[in-house]
Chain A
Amino acid sequence: MTAVLETRDLKRRFGAFVATNDVSLKIERGARHALIGPNGAGKTTLVNILTGVLPPTSGQVLLDGEEITNLPSHTRVKKGLTRTFQINQLFADYTPLEAVMLAILEREGLGSRLWAVVGSYRKTVDEAAALLARFGLASVMADRTNRLPYGKQRLLEIALAFASKPRVLLLDEPAAGVPEDERHEVLSIVSDLPADVTVVLIEHDMDLVFSFANRISVLVAGAIFAEGTAAEIAASPDVKAVYLGESA
C-alpha cells in the first residue's frame, strides 16, 4: 500500500482541550477517502493541520514520504496538497476568472512577475476558461464572487483548489449549506474529479459519504475511532453506536 498522505501521532491542544489526539492516518494514492465524525470530533482541525493553516502540537505530516509538518501552506500547495473550506474562503471582490487566473499563475510559478500583464499569459487564460467551464462557472466568470449564488461559490471553492493541480485534494464539506436545487451540480462535480487525484472528503452527509468513498475513517473526540472500507464501516456496530446510531 502506497500512502500519498500520512500522519504520525498527530496531536493538537488548545489549552487543556485536545482537538486532535494521536491521529495516525494513511491515505492511499488515488483513494476516495472520507473522514467522518460527529460535530466537534476535530475533523476541520485535522484538515487545518494537514494544510499548514494550524501547526500541530506534536507529530508529523508526510506527503509522498516527505515530511511537510513545518512547511507553510503555499509550499504544500506547490507540492500538490490543497483543500477547500467548509465556509467559503474566497476573494470577495474578484471575479471567478481572476481568482482562477491567480491560482494557475501561482501554480506555474509566474505569480512573482512584477512587470508582466496578466492578460498576456494567453495559455493561462485559455486554461482558466476551460476550468471555469468544467466547474459550471463559465457563465458567471465576469461576476464578482460575493454576488454569485451560494452553489456557484461552492463550485468556485473546488475550482480554485483544483486549479493548483493537486495530487491530494481535501474537500471540507463541499456541499455544506448548498440549497437543494443547486446540490446536484456540486455533487456531480465532486464525483467527476479525475481518478489520479487523491480525494479526502470531510462530510456529514452519509448518503454522499457512502456513494463516494471507498475508504472511511471515523474520528471521535479527536482520535481515530474506526477505519475501514465503506462496507466495513457501514456494518460496524461500534460505529453505529457512537455515530451512525445517533442519526438512525
Chain B
Amino acid sequence: MSLPVQESVQTGAEEQHVDQSRAHRLMQRRTTVRSFEILIWLGALATVYLLPSKMLILTEIAILALFAVSLDLVLGFAGIVSLGHAAFFGLGAYTAGLFARYVTAEPVAGLLVAGAAAGLLGYATSFLILRGSDLTRLMTTLGIALMMAEAANQMAWLTGGADGLSGFSIDPIFGLVPFDLWGRNGFIYYLVVLFLSTLVARRLAFSPFGLSLKAIKSNPVRAALVGVPVRRRLITTYTVAAVMAGFAGALLTHTTSFVSPDVLAFHRSADVLLVLAIGGTGYLYGGIFGAIGFTLLKDALSVVTPQYWMFWIGLLLVILVLVGRARLTRWVDDLGERLPGLRGTNR
C-alpha cells in the first residue's frame, strides 16, 4: 500500500483488515448476478417452447429491448438525453438491407456491418452532444434523426425512398440455420444477439469505465476533478450504444426482409424513450422489462381500442413521469432487499 500510514495506525492493523475485507465484499457484491437476471433469460428461453405461436410479438419485443438497452447506456449511464436514437436504428436497418441486397444475404455478416455503420455515425455525431444542456442535446439528436430520415427519403435510387427497400431475402444464419415461417429460429437468433449485447453492456457497466459513467451523469464537474476525461468517455459510450442500436435495426430488417422509411421515423425515438420510462433507467434491464411492458400493453390496447390506444399510452406516460422515474427503478432494489442475500449493492 502506498498511503502514508498515519490514521490507520490509530485504528489498528486489525480494524484495517476488517475494513479491507468489508470493502472487498462490497465490491464483489456489485457484480453478483442477481436472481431476476437468471429468471428473465430462462423465461425468454422457455417462451421458445411454451409460446410457439407468439414468436412474432416476442421478436418485436426482443428487437425493441435491444434498442432500449442501447439507449439506456446513453441515458441511464452517461446521462445524455436523446430524442433521435432512431438515427442509429434506421441506419443499421438500411445498411443491413443494402448489404443483403448487394453483398451477401448472410444475416450475421449483415448484422456486424450494420453495427459498424451505426457506430461510425455514432462516433461522428457524438462530438455534437458533448456540450450543452439537456434541451440542446434533445434538439441536436432530434435534428440528426430528422436529417437522416429525409436523406433516406430523398436517396430513392439507393433506399427505395418512400416505397422502402426490398428485393432481397435473408439467407440461413451462417448458411446453416434457415429462418422458418413461424419465426422460431429467427427469435432464437434475436435472443442470442440481445443476450450477448446485454452481457457486453453489463460488463461495461461494472468496469472502471462504467463506474466513471454514472459519476459523469451524477456530477460532470466533479467527475472531471477526480480525473475522469468526461468527453472521451461520452464519445466511447455514445459509439458503443450506436453500434447496439444498429444491431437492433439490422435485426428488424432480417425479420421483415424489407426496410420501410419508418425505421427512421420520430415515433421510434419516442417509443424507445417511453420503453425506458416504463422499465426504468440505469440498471440495464429497464430496457428489457420496458420493452415487454410496452409491447404487451400496445398489443392489448390496440385490440381493445384500435383507434384510441395511443390515448392510453399517453395517459400511462403522464402517470409514470408524475410518479417518478426514481421510484420505478427502485422496485428492483426493493425486491432484492426483501430477499436478503440476493441484493446487489445500490441498483
Compute how far the CA of A51 lies from the CA of B225 in the bound complex, rounded to whole angstroms: 8
Compute how far the CA of A107 lies from the CA of B207 in the bound complex, rounded to whole angstroms: 15
Shortest distance from the beta carbon of A192 to any chain B beta carbon, whole Å: 7
Shortest distance from the beta carbon of A158 to any chain B beta carbon, whole Å: 12
- Known contacts A95-B346, A125-B27; A102 and B19 CB within 8 A of each other: no
Shortest distance from the beta carbon of A25 to any chain B beta carbon, whole Å: 20
- Known contacts A95-B345, A113-B208, A130-B19; A119 and B227 CB within 8 A of each other: no
Query: Is residue B155 contacting chain A, with contact meaning CB distance below 8 A?
Result: no
- A62-70, A85-93, A210-218, A226-234 - interface stretch: A85-93
Shortest distance from the beta carbon of A82 to any chain B beta carbon, whole Å: 6
- Report yes or no: A133 in contact with B19, Cβ–Cβ below 8 A: yes
Compute how far the CA of A164 lies from the CA of B347 in the bound complex, rounded to whole angstroms: 26
- Report yes or no: A106 in contact with B218, Cβ–Cβ below 8 A: no
- Known contacts A74-B229, A102-B212; A91 and B218 CB within 8 A of each other: yes
User: Contact partner of B226 among A95, A121, A123, A163, CB < 8 A?
Assistant: A163
Compute how far the CA of A101 lies from the CA of B31 in the bound complex, rounded to whole angstroms: 15
**A36-77, CB under 8 A of B: which get 1 and which 0?**
000000000000000111000000000000000000111101
Query: Is residue A247 contacting chain B, with contact meaning CB distance below 8 A?
Result: no
Compute how far the CA of A115 lies from the CA of B23 in the bound complex, rounded to whole angstroms: 21
Shortest distance from the beta carbon of A140 to any chain B beta carbon, whole Å: 11
Compute how far the CA of A113 lies from the CA of B223 in the bound complex, rounded to whole angstroms: 16
Shortest distance from the beta carbon of A121 to any chain B beta carbon, whole Å: 8
Compute how far the CA of A33 lies from the CA of B107 in the bound complex, rounded to whole angstroms: 66
Query: Is residue A129 contacting chain B, with contact meaning CB distance below 8 A?
Result: yes
Q: In the assembled complex, which residues on chain B have CB atoms less than 8 Å from the CB atom of A127? A: 1-3
Query: Is residue B267 contacting chain A, with contact meaning CB distance below 8 A?
Result: no
Q: Which residue of B lies closest to A132 (CB)?
A: B19
- Known contacts A102-B215, A122-B24; A112 and B19 CB within 8 A of each other: no
- Report yes or no: A117 in contact with B207, Cβ–Cβ below 8 A: yes
- Report yes or no: A91 in contact with B219, Cβ–Cβ below 8 A: yes
- Report yes or no: A93 in contact with B206, Cβ–Cβ below 8 A: no
Q: In the assembled complex, which residues on chain B have CB atoms less than 8 Å from the CB atom of A101? A: 27, 211
Compute how far the CA of A161 lies from the CA of B226 in the bound complex, rounded to whole angstroms: 7
Compute how far the CA of A95 lies from the CA of B218 in the bound complex, rounded to whole angstroms: 13
**B227-240, CB under 8 A of A: which get 1 and which 0?**
11111110010000
- Report yes or no: B22 in contact with A115, Cβ–Cβ below 8 A: no
- Report yes or no: B226 in contact with A164, Cβ–Cβ below 8 A: yes
- Report yes or no: A93 in contact with B346, Cβ–Cβ below 8 A: yes
Within 8 A of A (CB), among B1-28: 1-4, 6-8, 11, 15-16, 19-20, 22-24, 26-28
Q: At the interface, is chain B mostly helix, strand, loop or mixed?
A: helix
Shortest distance from the beta carbon of B330 to any chain A beta carbon, whole Å: 11
- Report yes or no: A129 in contact with B229, Cβ–Cβ below 8 A: no
Within 8 A of A (CB), among B193-224: 203-204, 206-212, 214-215, 218-219, 221-224
Shortest distance from the beta carbon of A50 to any chain B beta carbon, whole Å: 11
Query: Is residue B30 contacting chain A, with contact meaning CB distance below 8 A?
Result: yes
Q: In the assembled complex, which residues on chain B have CB atoms less than 8 Å from the CB atom of A105? A: 208, 211-212
User: Contact partner of A118 among B208, B218, B236, CB < 8 A?
Assistant: B208
- Report yes or no: A133 in contact with B16, Cβ–Cβ below 8 A: yes
Query: Is residue A144 contacting chain B, with contact meaning CB distance below 8 A?
Result: yes
Query: Is residue A200 contacting chain B, with contact meaning CB distance below 8 A?
Result: no
- Report yes or no: B24 in contact with A119, Cβ–Cβ below 8 A: yes
- Report yes or no: A89 in contact with B227, Cβ–Cβ below 8 A: no
- Report yes or no: B206 in contact with A106, Cβ–Cβ below 8 A: no
Q: In the assembled complex, which residues on chain B have CB atoms less than 8 Å from the CB atom of A136? A: 7
- Report yes or no: B211 in contact with A98, Cβ–Cβ below 8 A: yes
Compute how far the CA of A83 lies from the CA of B227 in the bound complex, rounded to whole angstroms: 11
User: Contact partner of A99 among B204, B215, B233, CB < 8 A?
Assistant: B215
Q: Which residue of A lies closest to B232 (CB)?
A: A112
Compute how far the CA of A92 lies from the CA of B326 in the bound complex, rounded to whole angstroms: 13
Q: Which residue of B lies closest to A107 (CB)?
A: B227
- Report yes or no: A102 in contact with B27, Cβ–Cβ below 8 A: no
Compute how far the CA of A83 lies from the CA of B210 in the bound complex, rounded to whole angstroms: 24
- Report yes or no: B20 in contact with A129, Cβ–Cβ below 8 A: yes
**B301-344, CB under 8 A of A: which get 1 and which 0?**
00000000000000000000000000000000000000000000
Query: Is residue A97 contacting chain B, with contact meaning CB distance below 8 A?
Result: yes
Query: Which of B15, B208, B223 has the most chain A CB within a 10 Å cutoff?
Result: B208
Q: Which residue of B lies closest to A92 (CB)?
A: B218
Compute how far the CA of A90 lies from the CA of B18 in the bound complex, rounded to whole angstroms: 26
- What 4 A-B pairs are tightest by C-beta distance, nearest first? A119-B27, A106-B227, A73-B224, A129-B23
In the assembled complex, 9 residue pairs joining A and B whose CB atoms fall closer than 8 Å, in A order, are A72-B231, A74-B225, A77-B227, A95-B345, A98-B30, A118-B31, A118-B208, A126-B23, A142-B22
Known: A78-B227, A133-B19. 8 other contacts (CB 8 A): A102-B212, A102-B215, A112-B232, A117-B31, A117-B207, A130-B1, A134-B7, A164-B226
